[in-house]
Amino acid sequence: MMEIKILGPGCSRCKMLEKLTREVVEQNGIAANINKVEDIKEIMKYGIMTTPALVVNEKVEVKGRIPSTDEIKQILTR
């Protein structure tokens, strides 16, 4: 089971990344737990200075921008 974390304080960009990630997981039948991390101290543990960020299995894949659904799919299916 893949562990996905969306890091961000709850801004509109962070919510958009969460929405897109959930859509990609659903549409592609990916077995994953998706968690939204809004605690700044938790976010800092990943060395993230700009949000939103996408973390897959504890590896930071994207930070500071919203990737396209195609890019999210590539990250989650490789």
- Note if 11 is an active site residue: yes
Contacts of 61 (CB under 8 A, 6+ apart): 54, 55, 75
- Note if 14 is an active site residue: yes
Helix ranges (H only) for 5-78 are: 12-27, 40-45, 69-77
Which of 14, 48, 54, 76 is catalytic? The answer is 14
Which of 2, 11, 40, 44 is catalytic? The answer is 11
If DSSP codes are grouped into helix, strand and coil, which group holds residue 29?
coil
Residues recognised as catalytic = 11, 14
